Amino acid sequence: MGVQYTGGPIVYDTAVPSTSSAIFRSALDAIISEVAIAAVGVAGGMKYTLQSPDGLQMKVWIQDLGDAGPFFTSAIRITPTSEDEARSGPYALLVYGTGLTYEAWANEAGFFVAVVGDTSTENNFGCAILSPPSVSSPCNVDATAPTVTELWCSSAGNSGGGQVNWRNSRYCSNGFALSYNGTLIDLSSALGFLWLTPLCESNNADWQYGSPGEIARYTSGTGLRIDPLVSIGPQIYGQLWDAHYYTLPQTVDSISSLTDTDDAGQPMTSSWVAWNNNVPSSPTGGAGTVLGTLMLLVNTATTSLANVAY
């Protein structure tokens, strides 16, 4: 398919202060407000409505409800919900007042927050409306495309301490949710974890204790860039907007300048941030994000993104 460009604004801020709840929430508000189609006050904060180019929606709630973080810290709460607020995913608690500097990424269809350069703590959150396969996509070559009215997912870092999430892995093992056409799937559904789908060997490439999977890379040493397909268990639901998946591990928060091609065949250069990272458990492969890195578009391309045909 290729990158699903929203063509809309993208905000990437690596200097989000967290000196206080108000300052933290205000900084996040400034970011998400640039991409949200609505913002409404709620107890302790605001709720924001995101809408993808497909017209699918979800909400992100950013609140101070007096939550405590680890070791006597305080935290704000970010909660993903369906547009009708009938379904909600696990919330993330992001610590403030301890000198942490956060970064946040937002587009029309997604919102990601984490501590700058940090993959070890649980202060991170990510949610996104997914792009389902288009009617003409290869996924629908042998069957009719389903009608999609709701499709979003989320990864919260704090739920179930010690678990992996989309900041330090390609999958979220605990604080995840995915809502599809009125049905919310989470850990209690026992259908599997929230995955970014890697292109890899056919053996159990996730088995880091045995024979970790080989990393897929070209002979030149570069990795493959594939669609950022999101799945739970065997079900692949769609792909993230303004994102792709790179088969090599990358330094978290590192920026790559890459070239894509627009529908006129013209090159367009854009920058991408490596959102997640894990240390390979062997030089050639291993568990977690060594089977792939989530790359998020952080600036508009040098040619018109509106010209991209997707």
Radius of gyration in angstroms for the set of CA atoms belonging to the chain, rounded to a whole number: 18
Strand partners, 10: none
Contact window for other proteins (CB under 8 A) among 27-35, 95-103, 145-153, 161-169: 145-153
Contact window for other proteins (CB under 8 A) among 109-117, 121-129, 152-160, 252-260: 252-260
Least distance (Å) between residue 294 CB and other proteins: 14
142 binds other proteins (CB under 8 A): yes
For 144, which DSSP code?
P
303 binds other proteins (CB under 8 A): no
Nearer to other proteins among residue 3 and residue 187 (C-beta): 3
Nearer to other proteins among residue 99 and residue 138 (C-beta): 138
Q: Coil, strand or helix: which one is 100?
A: coil
Residue 136 tokens read as: 């003409």
Least distance (Å) between residue 144 CB and other proteins: 6
291 phi and psi, to 5 degrees?
A: -90, 5
138 binds other proteins (CB under 8 A): yes
230 phi and psi, to 5 degrees?
A: -110, 130
> Are the C-beta atoms of residues 263 and 310 closer than 8 Å to each other?
no
d(CA 82, CA 172): 19
Nearer to other proteins among residue 251 and residue 284 (C-beta): 284
Give how far the C-alpha of residue 46 lies from the chain's centroid of Cα atoms, to the nearest Å.
21
Least distance (Å) between residue 116 CB and other proteins: 26
**What Cα–Cα distance (Å) separates residue 95 from each residue in 56, 66, 69, 98, 190?**
30, 11, 6, 7, 29
Nearer to other proteins among residue 61 and residue 246 (C-beta): 246
Nearer to other proteins among residue 1 and residue 27 (C-beta): 1
Q: Which residues form the interface with other proteins (CB under 8 A)?
A: 1-3, 132-133, 138-146, 148, 192, 195, 197-207, 211, 214-222, 224-227, 229, 231, 233-238, 244, 258-261, 283-284, 291
